[in-house]
Structure 1
Amino acid sequence: MREAQQQLQVPVFSLRSGLTPTGHDLGSRSMAPVTLPQVLIVGGEGTSEYEAGEIWHYFDTKV
């Protein structure tokens, strides 16, 4: 993530929770909707098909 962040020069933040001490919580009705992301999962030699499938399933069902 750090390497991609530096190459693309975009801010990256980690979150421990969707709850905020002040303001609107992430995912609340007060948040503006975002456009559907387009995700590319790259695999190949050395990539576990189970882990790639887990990631694909997560994006397909949760994101």
Structure 2
Amino acid sequence: MHPLRRRTLTGTVAAWRDPAPALLPLPHPSQRNLAGFQRNAWFASDVLAQLRRRLDELGLFQRR
């Protein structure tokens, strides 16, 4: 198992600060994961916010 991987996908994503900023573990944005996104509000407020900041730093994120 990869050293950054946890027992669950939620655990791996929740530990996103461990490898940051070099890596940012993200779940696949599928219909099957919508319930998980709703149960884990920190994903949008913390992880996606960090992803947007990093993409903005690189000039790759355009706000709508």
More helix by share: 2
Q: Between Structure 1 and Structure 2, whose CA radius of gyration is higher?
A: 1
Bin the TM-score by the shorter chain: under 0.3
| Greater RCO (CA < 8 Å, at least 6 residues apart) | 2
TM-score (norm 2): 0.26
TM-score (norm 1): 0.26
